C-alpha cells in the first residue's frame, strides 16, 4: 500500500497504527495537506495512532462494552507505575540483601520482562541454561506478577496477549480493517495478535510509506565528525536554496551523543538569525527530532530546585541557579540584586544554604538601617510565604496530596514567572502538569510516601525525553529508528562507519543468552544486528531519490572505515557535491561594519600622592601583564568565589603565617629554638596553631566539621615541627620584625606592604629578609627586567634602610618530600642549609659585586612603578599563553580576540612577502 492508498483508507475511517509517535504525527500533517490541496476547510480527524496508544485505546474500549456478568478488567499500568511496582517487588525480594541501586535494577528487569513477552520466550523449558541472574529475574517477576494480581493491574508487556484472548472470546469487537505503517519488523507477540484479528475477519495490511526509487546513492569519506556535520548542513542549505519546499533528511545513528554539536552547526548554517542576541525566532529551517530530558529545560529545572529547597539546605550552585532564574516572582525586575546576593553567598563561603538563611540575607540592612545592595525585598517576602507552606508539610501523605503541595510551593514563589513564556517554555510547563499527574497516579501503587520519596519520583519522571512541537521544518535531523516510514526529497546518512553501524550486540544479562539468540531477540548477537541493520539500510535507501552516505575517517587518533553495509557504494569527493559556500552571518556582519579603532592601552594616571592599591601584588601583576594589574587593583575586577569543603590554599597559607608569627613572638632567637626541648616546643607549636585557627573567618568553621579541623590542626602541627627542624640548622639569628606593616615609596608610587619576617645574624648583625610560601613555588625570576616576584626585592631595597640585607629568602613551608627548603640569594654560604654564595652560582657570575643585584632590582621596580603611575594598561602578558593559564580575567581582557587579530595581521604580512 502506497501513501496515496493510505490516505484513501484514512478518508474511509480506517485505523492506521504506526511504529512511533513521530510517524503518526507526520501522516496526520500530510493528510491535512492533501485535504487542503483539495480545497477542503473541514474534514474528519484521521485515526492515526502509534502502537502503544492503539493498544491502550483498545484495552480501554473493554470498559465501554463490559457486561455485568463479565469479570472486572485489570487496570493498564502507566510506565511510571510499572517502574514503581518493579522497585517495590525487588525491595521485597531483596530485603535481606538490599541492592545499592534498586531503580537501575528495576529498569533492567523491566527490559528483560518486555523482551520475554514480546518475543515469547519459553523460560520454563530451559531451566538448565539458567544463570544466577535469570533465577533472580524469575524471583522478581513472580513478586511483580503477584502484586499485579493483588492490585488487579496489567502491564504493557502482557496487554497484547490479553487483547488477543479477548478478541478470540468475542469480548472485544473486531475492527473491520487495520493498516500498519513504519514497522521494520514485528515481534512474535504482535504477529500473534494480528493473526488473531485476520482469523476473525479483520483486514490487516502493511503500508509502505517510504518506497521511492533512488536515482543515486553515493558514499563520502570525511576527515572527522565535526567536518562531517558541517558538510551535511552546507549540503542541506544548498538544496534548500534551490528548492525551498524540498523535504531534506539528515539521519544520525548516535543522535543523542552529538545533538549539541549538530544543533550548533545547524544554527550557524541553516538559521543564523538564532545566533543574534535576544533572538526570539523559532526553528523554522531545521528540526532535531530528539529532545532533552524535561528536567533539563530551564523552566522545569527551576521548579525542581524550588521543590528541593522545601526539603532542606541546597548546594550553593543550586541556590545560585534559583537566584538567577527568570521563572520566579520578580525574577527580571530584581535580577541585579539577586545576582549580588549570589555573589555575597560565595563571599561568605557557605557550601549549603536553607530558605531561612536566604530569606535572612534577602532583608539584611546596614548599621544606618538601609537595605544592603544585595537585599531582595520581593525574594524575602516570597521565601516567607514559601517557608510557611514548607513547614506545614506532613512527614507522609498520598502522592496525590504531594502533587497539590508541590503546586502550592511553586505558586508561592510565582513559578513560572511573570514574563510571557516562549512556545518551548509553555509546552514544557504543560508537560510538567502531566508529570504531576503521573505522580498522583502512583497512589494506587503506594498509598503514602515521604517528601523525599515524592521528590525522587518526580525527578525520575521528569527525566523522560520531551520534544516540544514545532512547525514542520524542511530539514529534519533524525535518529535511524525515528526515520522509520519517512520519505524525503534528499537524504544524508552520516556517521556510517564500521564501529557504529551495525550496532554492537548487547544481550540482556537477565535472560539466557542462548535463548535470546535462538529467538533472534534484538541485540542478542552480532549476526542478528547485522541482519537488522541490513534491513533498515535498505529501507533508508528507498526513502529518497538522492542519497549521500558519509563516514568519518578518524576519531581522535583512531582510524575509522566505512560500514560493510555501504562498502559497495560509489565513492565521491567533496568537490563533487553541490555545497553552500557562503560565509557565516557572523563573518558577514563583521566585514560589513565600519570599525572604529580605539586605543585602550592607557588608563588614567595616578594623581600625585595617591596611594596605589594592592601593595606588592600590584607590582607583581604589572610585571605579568599591565592590563591585569589595572583591572584587578584599580577597577576592582574579580571572579565570583567558588566555596568548597575544606580549606583553600589561601586559608592554609594564612594559618601558616599566623602560627609562625605567634611562635617567633615567643621564641625570638635561634638559640632559644635550639635549647627548647621537643616536648616544650610541641606545646608552643600546638598553642600557636590553636590561635591561628581561632583567628580564621567564621565561614570556614561553618562549612567544615570539627573532625576535619582536628585533622587539619594535626597536619599543621607536624608541618611546623618539621620546619623548625630546618630552622635549627641555620646560622644563629634573632627575629627583629614579624608581619610588620610598612608604607614604601617606589619612585612616585606609595605602596602599603607587610614583610613576613626580618632576621638579624648574631655574628655581624646583618639582616635577612624572609617571605613564607606554602603553595607551589615557581622558579625565581629575580634576574629579569620584568620581575615576576617583586615582593622580596621591594622589601630588601625600600624597607631595609641604607644597609643591604645579606640574604633574601623565600621560605617554602611545604610538606611534600624534598620541597621544604629555602630559595633565594645570599651574599655568602653557610647562612642557611645547602645554600651557595650567589656570586659563584651560574646566575650570579655576571655580577661583579653583591650590590649590583640590588641596583638592578631598583631599576626594574622603578620601571614598573612608573608604568603604574602613568597608567600603562596594555594587554601584554609576559609569556603568552603561559602567563594567562591561571589568570581570572580572560572575559574582560579579550586576549583571545586580541592575539588572534595579531596572528592574522602577521600571517597577512608573511603572505604579502
Q: In 734-789, which residue ranges form alpha helices assigned H by DSSP? A: none
Helix, strand or coil for residue 216? strand
Structure confidence at residue 212 (pLDDT): 61
Phi, psi of 177 (to 5 degrees): -150, 145
Which H/E stretch holds residue 508?
none
Are 121 and 511 in contact by the 8 Å Cβ rule? The answer is yes
Structure confidence at residue 904 (pLDDT): 45
Q: What is the pTM of this model?
A: 0.81
For 659, the grid coordinates are 602560627
Are 222 and 574 in contact by the 8 Å Cβ rule? The answer is yes
> How would you classify the pairing of strands 546-552 and 490-493?
parallel
For 178, the grid coordinates are 487495520
In the chain the first and final C-alpha atoms are separated, in Å, by 68
What residues in the chain have per-residue pLDDT under 50? 68-69, 901-913
For 849, the grid coordinates are 659585586
Which H/E stretch holds residue 424?
helix 423-441
* Helix pair 102-118, 79-93: axis angle to 10 deg: 110
Are 464 and 293 in contact by the 8 Å Cβ rule? The answer is yes
Closest to 479 (Cα-Cα) out of 293, 246, 297, 287: 287
Are 18 and 49 in contact by the 8 Å Cβ rule? The answer is yes
Q: What angle do CA 503, 507, 519 make, to 5 degrees?
A: 100
Helix, strand or coil for residue 505? coil
Q: What is the DSSP letter of 374?
A: T
Q: What is the DSSP letter of 657?
A: H
Q: Please provide the DSSP assignment of 439-499 as one string.
A: HHHGGGT-S-EEHHHHHHHHHHHHTSEE-------SEEEE-TGGGTT---SEEEE---BTT
Are 694 and 703 in contact by the 8 Å Cβ rule? The answer is no
* Partners of residue 466 on adjacent β-strands: 292
Structure confidence at residue 907 (pLDDT): 43
Alpha-carbon distance values, 824 to 444, 627, 772, 832, 838 (Å): 76, 28, 12, 11, 9
- CB atoms under 10 Å from CB of 259, counted, come to 18
- CB atoms under 10 Å from CB of 413, counted, come to 27
Query: Alpha-carbon distance 9 to 203, whole Å?
Result: 12
The Cβ-side half-sphere exposure at 14, using a 13 Å CA radius, reads: 23
Q: In 94-187, which residue ranges form alpha helices assigned H by DSSP? A: 102-118, 132-151, 159-169
For 773, the grid coordinates are 610560601
- CB atoms under 10 Å from CB of 910, counted, come to 8
Q: What is the DSSP letter of 733?
A: E
- CB atoms under 10 Å from CB of 16, counted, come to 26
Alpha-carbon distance values, 81 to 100, 298, 399, 850 (Å): 21, 26, 12, 83
Closest to 855 (Cα-Cα) out of 865, 867, 864, 847: 847
Phi, psi of 685 (to 5 degrees): -60, -45
Which letter, b or e, does each residue of 709-744 get, where b requires 16 or more Cβ atoms within 10 Å of its Cβ?
eeebbeebbebbeebbebbeebbebbbebbbeeeeb
Q: Please provide the DSSP assignment of 310-338 as one string.
A: HHS-EEHHHHHHHHT-SSSTTTTTTHHHH
Are 48 and 27 in contact by the 8 Å Cβ rule? The answer is yes
Amino acid at each position: 500500500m502506497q501513501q496515496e492508498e493510505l490516505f484513501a483508507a484514512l478518508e474511509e475511517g480506517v485505523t492506521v497504527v504506526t511504529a512511533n509517535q513521530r510517524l503518526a504525527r507526520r501522516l496526520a500533517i500530510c493528510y491535512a495537506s492533501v485535504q487542503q490541496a483539495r480545497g477542503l476547510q473541514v474534514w474528519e480527524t484521521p485515526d492515526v495512532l502509534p502502537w502503544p496508544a492503539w493498544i491502550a485505546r483498545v484495552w480501554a474500549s473493554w470498559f465501554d462494552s463490559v457486561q455485568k456478568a463479565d469479570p472486572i478488567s485489570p487496570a493498564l499500568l502507566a510506565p511510571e507505575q510499572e517502574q514503581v511496582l518493579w522497585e517495590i517487588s525487588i525491595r521485597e525480594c531483596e530485603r535481606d540483601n538490599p541492592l545499592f541501586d534498586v531503580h537501575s535494577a528495576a529498569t533492567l528487569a523491566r527490559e528483560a520482562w518486555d523482551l520475554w513477552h514480546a518475543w515469547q520466550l519459553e523460560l520454563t523449558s530451559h531451566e538448565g541454561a539458567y544463570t544466577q541472574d535469570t533465577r533472580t529475574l524469575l524471583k522478581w517477576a513472580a513478586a511483580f506478577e503477584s502484586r499485579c494480581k493483588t492490585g488487579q493491574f496489567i502491564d504493557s508487556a502482557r496487554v497484547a496477549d490479553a487483547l488477543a484472548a479477548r478478541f478470540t472470546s468475542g469480548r472485544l469487537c473486531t475492527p473491520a480493517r487495520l493498516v500498519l505503517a513504519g514497522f521494520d519488523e514485528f515481534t512474535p507477540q504482535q504477529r500473534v495478535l494480528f493473526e488473531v484479528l485476520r482469523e476473525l475477519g479483520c483486514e490487516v495490511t502493511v503500508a509502505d510509506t517510504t518506497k521511492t526509487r533512488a536515482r543515486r546513492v553515493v558514499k563520502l569519506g570525511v576527515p572527522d565528525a565535526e567536518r562531517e556535520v558541517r558538510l551535511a548542513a552546507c549540503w542541506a542549505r544548498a538544496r534548500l536554496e534551490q528548492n525551498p519546499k524540498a523535504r531534506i533528511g539528515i539521519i544520525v545513528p548516535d543522535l543523542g551523543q552529538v545533538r549539541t554539536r549538530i544543533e550548533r552547526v545547524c544554527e550557524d548554517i541553516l538559521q543564523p538569525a538564532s545566533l543574534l542576541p535576544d533572538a526570539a525566532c523559532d526553528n523554522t529551517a531545521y528540526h532535531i527530532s530528539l529532545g532533552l530530558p524535561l528536567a533539563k529545560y530551564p523552566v522545569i529545572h527551576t521548579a525542581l530546585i524550588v521543590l528541593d529547597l522545601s526539603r532542606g539546605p541546597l548546594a550553593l550552585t543550586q541556590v545560585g541557579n534559583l537566584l538567577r532564574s527568570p521563572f520566579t516572582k520578580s525574577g527580571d525586575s530584581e535580577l541585579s540584586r539577586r545576582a549580588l546576593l549570589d555573589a555575597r553567598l560565595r563571599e561568605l563561603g557557605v557550601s549549603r544554604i536553607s530558605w531561612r538563611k536566604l530569606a535572612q540575607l534577602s532583608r539584611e540592612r546596614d548599621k544606618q538601617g538601609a537595605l544592603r545592595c544585595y537585599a531582595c525585598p520581593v525574594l524575602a517576602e516570597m521565601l516567607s510565604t514559601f517557608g510557611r507552606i514548607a513547614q506545614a508539610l506532613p512527614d507522609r501523605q498520598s502522592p496525590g496530596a504531594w502533587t497539590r503541595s508541590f503546586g502550592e510551593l511553586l505558586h508561592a514563589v510565582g513559578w513560572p514567572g511573570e514574563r510571557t513564556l516562549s512556545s518551548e517554555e509553555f509546552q514544557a510547563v504543560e508537560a510538567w502538569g502531566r508529570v504531576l499527574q503521573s505522580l498522583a497516579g502512583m497512589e494506587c501503587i503506594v498509598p503514602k510516601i515521604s517528601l523525599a520519596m515524592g521528590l525522587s519520583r518526580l525527578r525520575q519522571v521528569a527525566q523522560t525525553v520531551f520534544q516540544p512541537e514545532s512547525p514542520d521544518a524542511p530539514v529534519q535531523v533524525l535518529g535511524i529508528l525515528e526515520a522509520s516510514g519517512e520519505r524525503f526529497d534528499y537524504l544524508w546518512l552520516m556517521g556510517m562507519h564500521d564501529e557504529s553501524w551495525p550496532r554492537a550486540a548487547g544481550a540482556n544479562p537477565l535472560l539466557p543468552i542462548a535463548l535470546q539468540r535462538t529467538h533472534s531477540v534484538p541485540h542478542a548477537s552480532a549476526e542478528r544486528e547485522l541482519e537488522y541493520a541490513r534491513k533498515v539500510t535498505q529501507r533508508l535507501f528507498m526513502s529518497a531519490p538522492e542519497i549521500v552516505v558519509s563516514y568519518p575517517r578518524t576519531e581522535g587518533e583512531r582510524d575509522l572505515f566505512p560500514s560493510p553495509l555501504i562498502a559497495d557504494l560509489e565513492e565521491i569527493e567533496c568537490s563533487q557535491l553541490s555545497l553552500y559556500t557562503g560565509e557565516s552571518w557572523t563573518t558577514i556582519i563583521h566585514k560589513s561594519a565600519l570599525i572604529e579603532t580605539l586605543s585602550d592601552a592607557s588608563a588614567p594616571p595616578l594623581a600625585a600622592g595617591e596611594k596605589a592599591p594592592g601593595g606588592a601584588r600590584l607590582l607583581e601583576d604589572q610585571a605579568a601583564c599591565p592590563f591585569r594589574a589595572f583591572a584587578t587593583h584599580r577597577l576592582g575586577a574579580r571572579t565570583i568565589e567558588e566555596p568548597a569543603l575544606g580549606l583553600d590554599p589561601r586559608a592554609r597559607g594564612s594559618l601558616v603565617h599566623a602560627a609562625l608569627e605567634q611562635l617567633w613572638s615567643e621564641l625570638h632567637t635561634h638559640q632559644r629554638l635550639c635549647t627548647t626541648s621537643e616536648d616544650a616546643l610541641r606545646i608552643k607549636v600546638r598553642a600557636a596553631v590553636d590561635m591561628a585557627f581561632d583567628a580564621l573567618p567564621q565561614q570556614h568553621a561553618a562549612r567544615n566539621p570539627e573532625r576535619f579541623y582536628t585533622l587539619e590542626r594535626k597536619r599543621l602541627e607536624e608541618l611546623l615541627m618539621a620546619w623548625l627542624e630546618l630552622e635549627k640548622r641555620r646560622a644563629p639569628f634573632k627575629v627583629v620584625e614579624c608581619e610588620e606593616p610598612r608604607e614604601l615609596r617606589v619612585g612616585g608610587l606609595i605602596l602599603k606592604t607587610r614583610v613576613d619576617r626580618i632576621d638579624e645574624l648574631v655574628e655581624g648583625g646583618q639582616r635577612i629578609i624572609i617571605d613564607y610560601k606554602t603553595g607551589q613555588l615557581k622558579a625565581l625570576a629575580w634576574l629579569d627586567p620584568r620581575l615576576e616576584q617583586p615582593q622580596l626585592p621591594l622589601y630588601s631595597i625600600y624597607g631595609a634602610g641604607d644597609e643591604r640585607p645579606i640574604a633574601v629568602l623565600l621560605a617554602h613551608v611545604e610538606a611534600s618530600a624534598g620541597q621544604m627548603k629555602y630559595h633565594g640569594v645570599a651574599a655568602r654560604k653557610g647562612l642557611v642549609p645547602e645554600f651557595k654564595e650567589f656570586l659563584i652560582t651560574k646566575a650570579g657570575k655576571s655580577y661583579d659585586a653583591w650590590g649590583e643585584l640590588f641596583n638592578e632590582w631598583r631599576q626594574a621596580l622603578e620601571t614598573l612603578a612608573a608604568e603604574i603611575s602613568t597608567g600603562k594598561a596594555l594587554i601584554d602578558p609576559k609569556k603568552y599563553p603561559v602567563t594567562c593559564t591561571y589568570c581570572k580575567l580572560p572575559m574582560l581582557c579579550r586576549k583571545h580576540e586580541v592575539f588572534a587579530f595579531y596572528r592574522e595581521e602577521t600571517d597577512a604580512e608573511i603572505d604579502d612577502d
